[in-house]
Amino acid sequence: MATITYREALNQALAEEMERDDSVFLMGEEVAEYDGAYKVSKGLLDQFGDRRVVDSPISELGFAGLGVGAAMVGLRPVIEFMTFNFSFLALDQVINSAAKMYYMSDGQVHLPMVFRGPTGAALQLSAQHSQACQTWYLHAPGVKLVTPATPADAKGLLKAAIRDEDPVAVMEGELLYNLKGEVPDPEDGDFVIPLGLAEVKREGGDVSIITSGAMVHMALMAAGNLEKDGIDAEVLDLRSLRPLDVDAILATVQKTNRVVVLEEGWPYAGVGAQIAATIQEEAFDDLDAPVLRVTQADVPMPYAKNLEQMAKPSADRVVQACKKVLYTD
């Protein structure tokens, strides 16, 4: 095991997959000469050349569409959005082309491509650059979506996404790029995490906190605070939001009988709403309390630092929700 940053893990995944398969190429704004806005593609231009690490114009719709066409003829493009907020400009290509082509071609045309980049709020980037974009992609059948929370997950999930025969969105936590963690050494073998497989990041027996992406670390913080009050919280990291590991969700519900769903985005029609509905349909008799959700406030993200903190989910709010489902608040 080596201790590396989240961005280094993503870089390793890209380099290994480009080395393994010469049909893989990276395209996006500033990915080549500048080594990427978040330095995820550092050194790849020198290693693979400008035909496989391609700087694009500032035109998300254009280069996403180029990626769709490349995937249709047998290449495996990795399309980097500087932030998934900018990908809204490309949603016609993502939703109307990439997501639908396999179905509309009656299975004759696969689109093995990846859309990747940061999502969610950072620090005072205001409303238009602070959106958690998961639900925009989840709603359309045909696009898979993963949200790695750790360097190991970032590497393993990105490698799996690149090898998948369908479009996959890899949404990275904007504040996670400097996060360090243990990642298996390349010399120890091919490290790939299958899509659709959740992981229990902390075992517990009193209440389940179900979450993904950057919110995993907030959930772990909340679980640590709950432990001081004698409450043993389990943290389930979904890792993949589509496909969703329903078996893992049902297992943790059956174990603790009480659930708090934590997500970075807005509450209305959010990821947590889908999970709560799944639990109600599949595990209603296992619940000893209603499922509660902790989300961003239902407002555009404020710019002012104090208001931004009020709008974001917090460990304190997770603690309060856990105590509420345990009837100890």
pLDDT tens by residue, 47-63:
999 999 999 999 999 99
pLDDT value for 172: 97
Q: What pLDDT is stored for residue 290 in this prediction?
A: 97
pLDDT band for position 186 (50/70/90)? confident
Residue with tokens 């998300």: 60
Between 3.30.830.10, 3.40.50.2300, 3.40.50.920, 3.40.190.10, what CATH number should domain 199-325 receive? Answer: 3.40.50.920
Sequence-distant (≥ 6) Cβ neighbours of residue 42 within 8 angstroms: 11, 35, 36
Answer whether 0.85 is exceeded by the pTM.
yes
Name the band, by pLDDT with cuts 50, 70 and 90, for residue 244: very high
What are phi and psi for residue 189, nearest 5 degrees? Answer: 120, 180
Q: Which member of 8, 16, 17, 60 is catalytic?
A: 60
Q: Which CATH superfamily is domain 2-188 in?
A: Thiamin diphosphate (ThDP)-binding fold, Pyr/PP domains (3.40.50.970)
pLDDT above 90: residue 187: no
**Mean pLDDT calculated for residue range 107-111:** 95
Cα 195 to Cα 28, 165, 176, 191: the distances in Å are: 24, 12, 20, 13
Delimit the domains of the chain by residue range.
2-188, 199-325
Q: In CATH terms, are 2-188 and 199-325 the same topology?
A: yes
Across 284-288, average pLDDT? 98
Going by pLDDT thresholds of 50, 70 and 90, the confidence category of residue 235 is very high
Q: Are strands 240-242 and 144-146 parallel, antiparallel or unpaired?
A: antiparallel
Q: Are 86 and 60 contacting, i.e. CB atoms less than 8 angstroms apart?
A: yes
pLDDT grade for 329, boundaries at 50, 70 and 90: confident
Between these two residues, 186 and 246, which has the higher pLDDT value? 246
Order across the sheet with 168-173: list the strands: 53-55, 24-28, 76-80, 114-119, 168-173, 144-146, 240-242
CA–CA distance from 208 to each of 163, 178, 183, 211, 321 (Å)? 32, 28, 26, 10, 11
Give percent above pLDDT 90 in the chain.
96
When pLDDT is cut at 50, 70 and 90, the band that residue 91 belongs to is very high
Note if 217 is an active site residue: no
Q: What is the mean pLDDT of residues 36-54?
A: 97
Name the helix (H) or strand (E) containing 308. Answer: helix 305-311
Q: Which two tokens stand for residue 53?
A: 């690490």
* 139 catalytic per annotation: no
Instruction: Work out the percent of the chain whose per-residue pLDDT is above 70.
Output: 100
Mean pLDDT score of the chain: 96
Annotated catalytic residue within 110, 129, 227, 282: 129
Query: Can you give the pLDDT at residue 209?
Result: 98
Q: What is the pLDDT of residues 1-19, one digit of tens each?
A: 899 999 999 999 999 999 9
**Which tokens in the block code for residue 250?**
């049902």
What DSSP state is assigned to residue 95?
A: I
Confidence of residue 205 (pLDDT cuts 50, 70, 90): very high
